[in-house]
Amino acid sequence: MLRFAIRQDRSRERVRRFAAGPMPRVVQAGRQERKETLNGTTPELTLNDLPRPPFYRLVDEGRRDVYVETEVGGEPAQKVATLFASREPAEEFSARAIEFGMDALAGTIVRELKDWGEVEAYAGGGQDYVVFVSEEGSALFHAGDVARHAAGRAAEVPLPLYLISDEKGESPLISVETDEGGEVLVAALFSTPEKARAFKEKAAHLNLPDGLGKIDDEDGLRRHALVARRAGADYAVVDPESGVTEAIPIEEWTQ
C-alpha cells in the first residue's frame, strides 16, 4: 500500500550570499557585511550558483563526518566542512588534503548526499562553515546559510520529469492512502524513465499503461498539473515508493 505525507509550507527567508576564492582550501578571510572573501576570487560563486545534488562529503572509516578546525575571518577554531559538486574532486581532495593544509581530511572516504534534504541535514550538523568545491571554482559559506538555502531548494521540481501514459498520451491518476487514513487521487511523476518502469512493475495490480511521457519544462509541468486537477487530482508525487512519500498539493504546480 502506498501512503503519502502531505507537505507543509516552508518559510523561505531570503538567502544571504557569500563568496569565496576558487582554491580548495580555507585561508584567513576578511569580514565585511557578513561576506567571506578569499584572495583571487575567479570566478565568484554564490549560494544561488550551486547546482542540484548529488553532492559529496568526506567521512572517516566509521562513516562519521570529518571537519577541520581553522581560523576564518579572525575567528579562531572554526569548524569547517567540505562539500563537493562531484565525486572525482572529492577523492582528489582526500588524497591531497595535507597539501591544502587540511590534514584531518587526509585519507577520508567519499559519501554521497543525494538530495537537498540530505544537504540541509549535513550543513546543519554543527559546523560553522562549509567549503564548496567544483570545477567552476570554490566558495566558503556560513553553514547555517547553506542549510537554509538547501531547505528552500528542497521544494524545487527536478525537471525533466517522466510519467506513465497510454497511446493517447493520457496519464492515469492513482488513489492512495494518506497519513490521516483517508484516500486522495495523485498524479505520479518520476525523475528517470527507469524509476517509472520500476514503479509500473511493482504496481502491476494497477494495470498501468505501457507508454512513457516526458515533461521538459515548467510550462509543461503547469499544463500537466492543470489537466490532472481537472481530472480530480489533489496532489502530485515524484518517485513514489513503498512506505511514506511526500505529496505536493497539485495547486502549487498550476500557478
Nearest to 145 by CA among 5, 10, 19, 7: 19
Contact 186, 235 (CB under 8 A): yes
Q: What are the backbone dihedrals phi and psi of residue 147, each rounded to the nearest 5 degrees, phi first?
A: -60, -45
CB contact set of 125 (below 8 Å; sequence gap of 6+): 65, 81, 143
* Per-residue pLDDT tens digits for 145-172: 999 999 988 877 778 999 999 988 899 9
The structural domains of the chain, with segments of one domain joined by +, span: 30-153, 158-253
Given a cut of 90, is residue 224 above it in pLDDT? yes
Please give the DSSP secondary-structure letter assigned to residue 217: S
Contact 141, 127 (CB under 8 A): no
Looking at 45-54, 187-196, 244-253, which range is the least confident one?
Answer: 244-253
Distance CA 4, CA 183 (A): 10
CB contact set of 150 (below 8 Å; sequence gap of 6+): 116, 117, 119, 120, 123
Distance CA 49, CA 35 (A): 16
Whether the bond between 172 and the residue before it is cis, its omega within 30 degrees of 0, is no
- The confidence band for 122, taking pLDDT boundaries of 50, 70 and 90, is very high
Contact 76, 127 (CB under 8 A): no
Whether the bond between 209 and the residue before it is cis, its omega within 30 degrees of 0, is no
pLDDT recorded at residue 21: 29
Alpha carbons within 13 angstroms on the beta-carbon side of residue 174 total 28
Identify the residue with better confidence: 93 or 154: 93
Strongest mean pLDDT among 12-21, 38-47, 85-94:
85-94
**pLDDT averaged over every residue in the chain:** 79
- As given in the structure block, the three cell numbers for residue 165 are 501514459
* Per-residue pLDDT tens digits for 104-113: 899 999 999 9
CATH: 2.60.40.10, 3.40.1350.90, 1.20.1050.10, 1.10.10.60. Which one for 158-253? 3.40.1350.90
Residues forming beta bridges with residue 138, ordered by sequence position: 133
